[in-house]
């Protein structure tokens, strides 16, 4: 079993590689809403988590948490205008850490 520090360090490294963000992020950070991880970047993130930690994302509904490539561009410009996409459920770093610890996807308790 991996320590929480090992999981956090590995997850931080993956996020930094995708976003360029090397800040210490709170567990409440939403991958899409706060870090703007969407579409292909989100697929890359989940693929790397699966590869590095052996996590299964069977049953994960991508569009519930991230926009696809077609929507992401428009939503980025909407965000620049101060509009927020609240149609997607937040997927937080804290929940992702719990998924990694368990080894497979499970939905957050509430939205």
pLDDT exceeding 70 applies to what percent of the chain? 94
- Of 1, 11, 111, 108, residue with least CA distance to 60: 108
Which pTM was predicted?
0.89
What integer is the mean pLDDT of 97-108? 97
| Residue bearing the bigger pLDDT, 101 or 110 | 101
Q: Tell me if 83 is assigned to some domain.
A: yes
Residue 19 belongs to a domain with what CATH number? 1.10.1200
Asked if residue 109 belongs to a domain, the reply is no
**Is 38 within the bounds of a domain?**
yes
- The per-residue pLDDT of the chain, averaged, comes to 91
89 with 65: CB under 8 angstroms? Answer: yes
Q: Output the pLDDT for position 20.
A: 94
Residue 77 is assigned to a structural domain of this protein: yes
Domain presence at residue 108 = no
Q: Which domain holds residue 97?
A: 4-102
Domains held by the chain: number? 1
**Is there a domain that residue 107 lies in?**
no
pLDDT digits (tens, 9 = 90+) for 46-91: 999 999 999 999 999 999 999 987 777 677 766 778 877 888 999 9
* Of 18 and 109, more confident: 18
Give the C-alpha separation, 3 to 81, whole Å.
41
Domain presence at residue 110: no
């Amino acid at each position: 079993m991996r320590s929480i520090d090992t999981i956090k360090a590995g997850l931080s490294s993956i996020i930094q590689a995708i976003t360029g963000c090397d800040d210490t992020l709170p567990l409440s950070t939403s991958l899409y809403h706060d870090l703007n991880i969407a579409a292909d970047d989100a697929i890359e993130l989940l693929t790397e988590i699966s590869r590095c930690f052996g996590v299964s994302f069977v049953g994960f509904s991508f569009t519930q948490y991230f926009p696809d490539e077609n929507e992401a561009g428009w939503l980025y410009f909407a965000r620049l205008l101060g509009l927020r996409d609240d149609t997607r459920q937040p997927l937080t770093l804290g929940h992702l850490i719990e998924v990694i610890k368990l080894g497979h996807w499970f939905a957050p308790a509430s939205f």
